[in-house]
Amino acid sequence: MAKLPKRREDYSAWYNELVKTADLAENSDVRGCMVIKPYGFSIWEKMQQELDKRFKETGHSNAYFPLFIPKSYLSKEASHVEGFAKECAVVTHYRLKNDPNGGGVIVDPDAKLEEELIVRPTSETIIWNTYKNWIQSYRDLPILVNQWANVVRWEMRTRLFLRTTEFLWQEGHTAHATQAEAEIEAKQMLEVYADFAENILALPVIKGVKTTNERFAGAIDTYCIEAMMQDGKALQAGTSHFLGQNFAKAFDCKFTSKENKIEFVWGTSWGVSTRLMGALIMAHSDDEGLVLPPNLAPIQVVIVPIYKTEEQLNAITEKVNIWKSELVKKGISVKFDSRDTQSTGWKFAEYELKGVPVRVAIGPRDLENNTCEVARRDTKEKTSISADNLVHHIEVLLPEIQKNIFQKAFDFRKKQTHNVNTWDEFKDAITNKIGFISAHWDGTSETEEKIKEATKATIRCIPIDNIQETGKCVFTGNPSKERVIFALNY
């Protein structure tokens, strides 16, 4: 198997190769679309499970809305259409026929759709058009719905997981009777995402609000969680939007309040996508391959036997079976890889590449001494422990690995977050350092644009729990009351 490129030498190539060699995904024959392979998908499924559990706990139900959206719906909300029109796939016909000239199948010109359909880039429009029919009274509210779906955004430049033409995600869409309730919902889901990111993905995130420039097309406020990758670039890992009454107005979605007044419904939407796979990879993995946090690893522990004879394997298997059943009882996923088609060293390298958090090796010498060798993926430490103690050891070790992976990412982010106060310092940081820049900003889109033009850095977010401190905008010198996070981003 080919060695991975080194992160330091070519971060981009390292990422691309890792995604493929670790069996996560590959390019398909359709431009910009990927095949998510079984191992990659099993990680995505773990993400889904954890998120879905949290959505249910916060009162949401899953539903499903169509893939196709009538073209006219998109244009009902002005800024929404502006944001998405340029990247929509459009269905114009519903039938093929044999080419009379013998060139295979062609689009049947007689099967033109009266109204063209777009493939959803997101579902606000069709959902609000549906909600309109569901809501008459304040008694019908709130509606708390989520859907797991695929969406299509016709991107010019794609990368596996980070930006693909078709991607998988969840989109929550809620409807509320009051502004306050909708705002609380949007913030609540941001908290859910942050909790998931930090505790499951082991990914430290900054919770923040987007500037006007970066806001979702159609939202009043866009909240986000931003994470730092190992190359110092920012990656938006999740967003939650307070939509105000924008979509309700666009789709005439009204209700009668307790006070017998007719009012527009307040809305939110929130989503995370398969992009999280990219975040996971780029935040933790190393030159040997994937590093998966235990809470997300499809296989948490792999046991590799070392043996020559059948008797040895039998003796090992007997021991391993006891371990396995005890570990499974504790909810730990274990794989015993006793294949004799691959060598021991090959297996070691393979499970490192795939990011399995803990590897246990047991051979004849261990059988004699009643020991086994435990290796952790995050630190590559190997220790020999008593075989009787293995189950307990792993039980303690997994959370420790989880914590360590988070801490490592946290320390890195801290080290690579630079407080700057002058434009010279800003330019120096953006060219000579990597990471986040925390700086004062005068609050105008104009300044943000100019900084972007000069440095390519954009405001990733205004942190929610920001310390209020007076200062001067790093670009214009105008007064500012808090620092914002600038960075290059994915």
Partner RNA sequence: CGGGAAGUAGCGUAGUCUGGUAUCGCGCCAGCAUGGGGUGCUGGAGGUCGUGGGUUCGAAUCCCGCCUUUCCGACCA
* Distance of alpha carbon 248 from alpha carbon 205, whole angstroms: 31
Instruction: Identify the sign of the CA torsion 473, 477, 478, 480.
Output: positive
Nearer Cβ to RNA (111/454): 454
- In one letter, which amino acid is 32? G
Angstrom distance (rounded) from CA 190 to CA 168: 19
4 phi/psi in degrees, rounded to 5: -75, 150
**Shortest separation between residue 224's beta carbon and RNA, angstroms:** 8
Q: Where are the beta strands (DSSP E) in 192-251?
A: 206-209, 221-228, 234-244
Closest CA to 123 of 63, 189, 53: 63
Nearest one of 213, 193, 162 to 462, comparing CA atoms:
213
Q: Of residues 449-468, which lie at the interface with RNA (CB under 7 A)?
A: 456
Is 372 a binding residue for RNA by CB under 7 A? The answer is yes
Residue 228, amino acid: M
Does residue 431 touch RNA according to CB under 7 A? no
Among 41, 73, 167, 270, binds RNA (CB under 7 A): 167
Q: Which is nearer to RNA, 183 or 226 (CB)?
A: 226
- Residue 51 has φ and ψ, to the nearest 5°, of -70, -45
Regarding 165 and contact with RNA (CB under 7 A), the answer is yes
Rounded least distance, CB 364 to RNA, Å: 5
In angstroms, what is the minimal distance from the CB of 227 to RNA? 11
Q: What angle in degrees, to the nearest 10, is found between the helix axes of 275-284 and 390-415?
A: 90
Residue 285 CA to residue 278 CA, distance in Å, equals 11
Identify the residue among 38, 105, 322, 346 touching RNA (CB under 7 A).
346
Interaction residues for RNA, span 352-371 (CB under 7 A)? 352-353, 359, 361-367
Nearest approach, Cβ of 122 to RNA (angstroms)? 9
Counting contacts by CB under 7 A, is residue 68 touching RNA? no
Q: Which of 125, 158, 211, 268 touches RNA by CB under 7 A?
A: 158
Q: Identify which of residues 429 and 461 has a Cβ nearer to RNA in the complex.
A: 461
| Options 23, 140, 155, 482; binder of RNA; rule CB under 7 A | 155
* CB 297 within 8 Å of CB 286: no
Task: Check binding of 440 to RNA (CB under 7 A).
Answer: no
Q: Beta strand pairing status for 334-336 and 301-305?
A: parallel
Longest dimension (CA), the chain: 83
To RNA, the closest distance from the beta carbon of 39 in angstroms equals 14
Calpha distance 456→448 (Å, rounded): 10
The least CB distance from residue 256 to RNA, in Å, is: 34
What are the residues facing 70 on neighbouring strands? 117
Q: How far is the CB of 375 from RNA (least distance, A)?
A: 5
| Separation of CA 155 from chain center | 18
Instruction: Give the contact letters, 195-234, x = binds to RNA (CB under 7 A), - = no.
Output: -------------------x-xx-----------------
Residue 16 binds RNA (CB under 7 A): yes
Question: Given the complex with RNA, which of 133 and 309 has the nearer CB atom?
Answer: 309
Stretch in the footprint of RNA (CB under 7 A) among 25-33, 136-144, 291-299, 465-473: 25-33
Would you list the DSSP string of 76-115?
Answer: TSHHHHHHHGGG--EEEES-EEE-TTSSSEEE-GGGEEEE
Q: Which residues 378-397 are close enough to bind RNA by CB under 7 A? A: 380, 382
**Least CB distance to RNA at residue 294 (A):** 18
> Residue 16 and residue 389: Cα distance in Å, rounded?
40
Site map (CB under 7 A) of RNA, residues 105-144, x = contact: ----------------------------------------
Nearer to RNA among residue 29 and residue 115 (C-beta): 29
Q: Which residue number, 253 or 484, has a Cβ lying nearer to RNA?
A: 484
**Nearest-approach distance from CB 27 to RNA, in angstroms:** 5
Tell me: does residue 32 bind RNA (CB under 7 A): yes
User: Cα angle vertex 443, ends 179, 432, to 5°?
Assistant: 125
Site membership for RNA, residue 308 (CB under 7 A)? yes
d(Cα 365, Cα 307) in Å, to the nearest integer?
A: 10
Which of residues 2 and 262 has its CB atom nearest to RNA in the complex? 2
Nearer to RNA, 138 or 193 (CB): 193
In whole angstroms, the minimum distance from the beta carbon of 12 to RNA comes to 4
Chain centroid offset of residue 247 CA: 26
d(CA 224, CA 208): 5
- C-beta of 273: minimal distance to RNA in Å? 5
Cross-sheet strand order for the sheet of 358-362:
334-336, 301-305, 358-362, 371-376, 382-386
Footprint on this chain of RNA (rule: CB under 7 A)? 1-3, 12-13, 16, 27, 29, 31-32, 83, 86-87, 153, 155-160, 162-165, 167, 214, 216-217, 236, 239, 273-275, 288-289, 306-308, 340, 343-346, 348-350, 352-353, 359, 361-367, 372-373, 375, 380, 382, 456, 489
